[in-house]
Chain A
Amino acid sequence: MTMQTGAAPKFQPGERVRVDSRPALGHCRAPLFIRGQTGTVVTVHGTFRDPERLAYHQPGLPPQNLYKIRFKQTDLWLDYTGSPNDELEVDVYENWLLPATN
Chain B
Amino acid sequence: MHDHHDHDLTFQADHDTGPASPYEVLEHAIRELLVEKGVLTNAEISEHIDKMATRNETLGAKVTARAWTDPEFKQRYLNDTRAALASMDIDIGDMAEYRVVENTPRIHNVIICTLCSCYPKLLLGYPPSWYKSVTYRSRTVREPRAVLQEFGVELPDGVEVRVHDSTADLRYIVLPMQPEETTDWPAEKLMAKISRDSLIGTSIPT
Contact = CB atoms under 8 A, between A and B. Distances in A.
Interface string B130-145: 0000000000011111
A31 to B, nearest CB: 5
A66 B169 contact: yes
B168 A48 contact: yes
A45 B166 CA distance: 13
Interface string A48-59: 100100000000
Contact of A81 (B114, B145, B164, B165): B145
A90 interface: yes
A87 B110 CA distance: 11
B160 A90 contact: no
A1 interface: yes
B162 A2 contact: no
Nearest to A66: B168
A99 B34 CA distance: 47
A82 B165 contact: no
B80 interface: no
Contacts of A45: 97, 168-170
A94 to B, nearest CB: 11
A83 interface: yes
Q: Interface of chain B, helix or strand or loop or mixed?
A: mixed
Interface string A66-84: 1000000100110011110
Given A2-B94, A82-B144, A88-B141, A30 B167 contact: yes
Contact of A1 (B96, B114, B115, B159): B96
B169 A89 contact: no
A78 to B, nearest CB: 11
Given A31-B115, A33-B141, A89 B164 contact: yes
B177 interface: no
Nearest to A30: B167
A60 to B, nearest CB: 11
A93 B169 CA distance: 10
Interface of B: 94-97, 114-115, 141-146, 159-170
Given A29-B168, A77-B142, A80-B142, 4 more contacts: A2-B169, A30-B167, A82-B161, A88-B141
21 contacts: A1-B95, A2-B95, A2-B97, A3-B97, A31-B114, A33-B142, A48-B169, A66-B169, A80-B142, A81-B145, A83-B160, A83-B161, A85-B160, A86-B160, A86-B161, A88-B163, A89-B163, A90-B165, A91-B168, A91-B170, A92-B167
The 4 A-B pairs with the shortest beta carbon distances in the complex, nearest first, are: A91-B168, A85-B160, A90-B165, A82-B145
